[in-house]
């Protein structure tokens, strides 16, 4: 479409559209044009998703600005460096420019009139939250944490609030069950429940004050961490100054925000760097715990710390803020992320390999070692339950299975991710878990640029502005090119033959059988090779899901697939050459193998390997199976991902046609040929599918093997028609 905003529309960010806490779809807007994609809906949106359709039309007519969650809108919004241009005024020293920067970013500081006004607004938000939930949580107190608590709040930062309950914090599902109390409430607007996050929260706008806020009921350790960070940043003004500069630097260079570096992680990176100096500005957290007057434990982790400055070693470091900023960029640009874990508790690094064999960790981490032993015992117990073969023992153990969600279970520190920074209190938590390799490359590149091209070569106040300005050379992209091509196919119109949909476990069986059938069809009909995908991206997807041990049938399955795109071409010509039976599924298998053989034997003999690859159209891609167990009817999303192969569109178009037309036939064949234990699972919920992950992996290997030997079966013999 030709119009004045076409270029801006092409470059606009696609954002999430949330209705009553549910992800309804995605929206891209420029001026008065909005393009909305509604999830899980065909061309009859009001029929497929009536609630979301009503909200869609209502927003278009009355509230077009409501398409975007305000938190996500702000997180995705670009930063206008023009707002701080005055810090680069000629003649200013670095310290003078820094003072101006702080005044612009924080509105004159917490001590000024703006700070007092903000405190009054925050007290009003806390008052209304306490009034809303007080009848459910007697004596509850709303307490600030995060950037508002530690003194790193920027003008546009949201306000983080923890609801502290004297009688004990509520269960994890509290946000899911009672967060809706904020929907039809005079105090709040634009309310969004995020109940499946690691720490469930509710985001909202406060009507009276206009503040954008997050409220949580579970994260008491977050409150304790904020108290400790506030103390650490108060030890020397240079510490808070450095943390504020780094926070804004990461924001303007699109390193922080949702899915990137969290501000919490960046603050601890500043703290950890300052612990590494020859004359440290920040002591180790372990020292603070040893000097504490009383021990305090929260969520099984020690969170006490000494807040008496007189007990701490005196600060002798005389470095300027500029020199410390140079050192921060230098330290993290050269850090060996592959080998080491940053451990703020001890104020030093530890090899990742030592966490694998946790008994070799230093004595200061004894609490973590005890935790790791408990996790080991827990995993062994679950493995013993899953490997039980006797039916009577399964029945006996059925009620002993853990009912805890993934987040409520114990886990060891995940050191397999690209960046590992151990939390200072929760020693099993990697606060840099969201960082992916492309973002890490961009982060290191920008650190090197700031160190070498800005801080080394420039003087005066302008250097601070130049740290925030875009580099003269374009930095690496933060988004992985691995996910350039993506095709999502939704599957929900199929049924399991011979099974009543009213059965209690029908939905679970449906998800299992459909995924197994897709594997069976891809290997048999199209001769594709499949294997489980154990990449870091796949591990992160599976480890972030909320399903507990009784719901593992709904876990995302990630796989790799390779094959020849030529199987989708010249199929009609192949059918004319062959003698085929009345079994359509067997015919499709035969046609694919004949097409491959025909191309291989018809190619000129002098063709080299690379030429043959082009003829066959060999490709490799990833496929993922996403389940939606909370929906009324079973629905599966099959996602194809690939960036390198030029045959991606050919393959996905062919497979989409198959999954829309003849999948029911393939599923029936899969069930009959593989003796799937459907009846047993419907009856007891166990059997061979008790350990579904292992069953699925073995099923994939078995399908690959059977597919290779398929031509040896007389039923799949390639028989040509006689020439006329």
Q: Are strands 212-216 and 201-206 parallel, antiparallel or unpaired?
A: antiparallel
Q: Which two tokens stand for residue 217?
A: 């009921």
Torsion sign (Cα): 229, 234, 235, 240: positive
pLDDT tens, position by position, 475-500: 776 544 443 467 778 887 788 888 88
The mean pLDDT of 659-674, rounded to a whole number, is: 85
Angle in degrees, CA 236, 242, 244, rounded to 5: 110
* Residues in CB range of 202: below 8 A, 6 or more apart: 175, 179, 182, 191, 192, 193, 194, 214, 215, 216
Over 70: is that where the pLDDT of 724 sits? no
Reference 468, options 139, 293, 248; nearest CA is 248
SS (HEC) of 458-509: CCCCHHHHHHHCCCCCCCCCCCCHHHCEEEEEEECCCCCCCCCCCCCCHHHH
pLDDT tens, position by position, 636-662: 888 888 755 677 777 887 887 777 678
Predicted confidence band of residue 548 (pLDDT cuts 50, 70, 90):
low
Angle in degrees, CA 309, 310, 312, rounded to 5: 65
The mean pLDDT of 83-94, rounded to a whole number, is: 85
Beta partners for residue 213, in sequence order: 159, 204
Reference 368, options 342, 345, 399; nearest CA is 345
CATH for 112-222 is 3.30.460.10
* Helix H or strand E encompassing 114: helix 113-133
Pick the range with the lowest mean pLDDT from 31-35, 73-77, 585-589: 73-77
3-class DSSP assignment, residue 211:
coil
Whole-angstrom Cα distance, residue 559 to residue 531? 6
Q: Which two tokens stand for residue 694?
A: 């292992």
pLDDT tens, position by position, 243-279: 999 999 999 888 887 668 999 999 999 999 999 999 9
- Enumerate the domain spans of the chain: 5-68, 112-222, 259-394+404-480, 489-539+552-717
In the DSSP assignment, the letter for residue 452 is I
CB atoms within 10 A of CB 187: 17
Q: Do the two domains 5-68 and 112-222 of this chain adopt the same fold?
A: no
In the DSSP assignment, the letter for residue 481 is G
pLDDT tens, position by position, 178-220: 888 888 788 998 888 777 667 888 889 999 999 999 999 988 8
- Contact predicate 210/74, CB 8 Å: no
Predicted confidence band of residue 48 (pLDDT cuts 50, 70, 90):
confident
CATH for 259-394+404-480 is 1.10.1410.10
Whole-angstrom Cα distance, residue 128 to residue 132? 6
Greater pLDDT, 177 or 161: 161
5-68: what CATH class? Answer: alpha beta
Pick the range with the lowest mean pLDDT from 19-28, 47-56, 63-72, 492-501: 63-72
Whole-angstrom Cα distance, residue 430 to residue 570? 51
Share of the chain above pLDDT 70, in %: 81
Predicted confidence band of residue 388 (pLDDT cuts 50, 70, 90):
low
CB atoms within 10 A of CB 213: 24
pLDDT tens, position by position, 440-459: 999 999 999 999 988 887 77
Reference 527, options 677, 654, 649; nearest CA is 654
* Residues in CB range of 714: below 8 A, 6 or more apart: none
Q: Which two tokens stand for residue 531?
A: 């294997």
- Contact predicate 161/185, CB 8 Å: no
pLDDT of residue 387: 63
Q: To 10 degrees, what angle do helices 263-275 and 220-234 make?
A: 40
Mean per-residue pLDDT over the chain, rounded: 81
């Amino acid at each position: 479409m030709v119009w004045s905003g076409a270029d801006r529309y092409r470059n606009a960010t696609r954002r999430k559209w949330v209705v009553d806490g549910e992800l309804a779809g995605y929206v891209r807007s420029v001026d008065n044009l909005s393009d909305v994609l509604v999830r899980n809906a065909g061309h009859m949106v009001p029929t497929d998703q009536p609630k979301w359709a009503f909200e869609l039309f209502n927003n278009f007519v009355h509230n077009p600005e409501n398409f975007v969650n305000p938190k996500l809108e702000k997180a995705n919004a670009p930063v206008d460096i023009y707002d701080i241009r005055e810090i680069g005024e000629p003649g200013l020293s670095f310290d003078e420019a820094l003072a101006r920067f702080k005044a612009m970013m924080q509105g004159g500081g917490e001590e000024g009139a703006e700070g007092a006004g903000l405190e009054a607004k925050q007290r009003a938000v806390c008052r209304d939250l306490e009034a809303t939930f007080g009848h459910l949580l007697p004596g509850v107190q709303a307490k600030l944490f995060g950037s508002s608590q530690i003194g790193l709040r920027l003008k546009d930062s949201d306000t983080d609030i923890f609801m502290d309950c004297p009688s004990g914090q509520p269960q994890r599902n509290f946000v899911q069950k009672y967060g809706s109390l904020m929907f039809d409430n005079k105090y709040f607007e634009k309310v969004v429940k995020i109940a499946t996050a690691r720490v469930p929260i509710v985001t909202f706008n406060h009507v009276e004050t206009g503040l954008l806020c997050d409220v949580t009921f579970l994260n008491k350790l977050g409150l304790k961490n904020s108290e400790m960070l506030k103390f650490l940043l108060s030890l020397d003004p240079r510490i808070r100054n450095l943390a504020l500069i780094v926070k804004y630097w990461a924001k303007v260079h699109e390193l922080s925000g949702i899915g990137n570096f969290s501000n919490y992680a960046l603050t601890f990176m500043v703290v950890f760097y300052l612990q590494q100096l020859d004359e440290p500005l920040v002591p180790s957290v372990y020292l603070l715990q040893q000097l504490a007057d009383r021990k305090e434990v929260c969520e099984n982790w020690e969170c006490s710390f000494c807040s008496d400055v007189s007990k701490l070693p005196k600060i002798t470091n005389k470095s300027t803020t500029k020199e410390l900023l140079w050192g921060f960029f230098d330290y993290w640009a050269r850090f060996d992320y592959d080998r080491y874990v940053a451990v703020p508790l001890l104020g030093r690094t530890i090899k990742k390999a030592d966490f694998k064999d946790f008994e070799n960790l230093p004595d200061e981490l004894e609490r973590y070692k005890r935790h790791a032993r408990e996790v080991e015992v827990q995993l062994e117990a679950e493995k013993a339950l899953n490997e039980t073969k006797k039916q009577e023992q399964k029945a006996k153990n059925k009620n002993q299975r853990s009912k805890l969600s993934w987040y409520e279970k114990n886990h060891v520190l995940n050191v397999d991710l690209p960046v590992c920074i151990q939390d200072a209190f929760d020693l099993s938590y990697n606060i840099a878990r969201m960082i992916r390799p492309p973002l890490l490359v961009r982060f290191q590149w920008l650190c090197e640029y700031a160190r070498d091209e800005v801080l080394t070569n420039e003087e005066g106040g302008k250097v601070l502005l130049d740290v925030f300005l875009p580099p003269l050379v374009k930095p690496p992209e933060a988004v992985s090119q691995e996910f350039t091509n993506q095709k999502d196919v939704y599957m929900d119109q199929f049924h399991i033959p011979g099974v009543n949909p009213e059965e209690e476990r029908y939905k679970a069986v449906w998800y299992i059988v459909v995924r197994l059938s897709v594997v069976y069809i891809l290997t048999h009909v199209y001769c594709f090779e499949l294997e489980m995908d154990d990449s870091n991206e796949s591990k992160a997807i599976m480890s972030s899901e909320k399903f507990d041990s009784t719901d593992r049938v709904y876990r995302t399955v990630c796989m790799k697939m390779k094959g020849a795109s030529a199987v989708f071409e010249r199929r009609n010509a192949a059918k004319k050459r062959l003698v085929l039976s009345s079994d359509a599924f067997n015919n499709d298998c035969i046609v694919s193998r004949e097409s491959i053989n025909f191309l291989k034997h018809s190619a000129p003999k002098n063709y080299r390997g690379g030429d043959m690859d082009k003829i066959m159209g060999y490709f490799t891609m990833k496929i993922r199976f996403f389940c939606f167990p909370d929906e009324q009817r079973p629905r599966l999303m099959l996602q194809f991902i690939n960036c390198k192969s030029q045959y991606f569109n050919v393959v996905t178009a062919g497979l989409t046609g198959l999954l829309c037309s003849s999948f029911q036939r393939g599923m029936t064949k899969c069930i009959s040929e593989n003796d799937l234990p459907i009846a047993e699972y419907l009856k007891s919920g166990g059997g061979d599918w008790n350990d579904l992950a292992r069953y699925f992996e073995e099923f994939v290997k078995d399908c690959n093997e059977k597919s290779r030997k398929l031509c040896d079966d007389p039923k799949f013999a390639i028989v040509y028609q006689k020439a006329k």
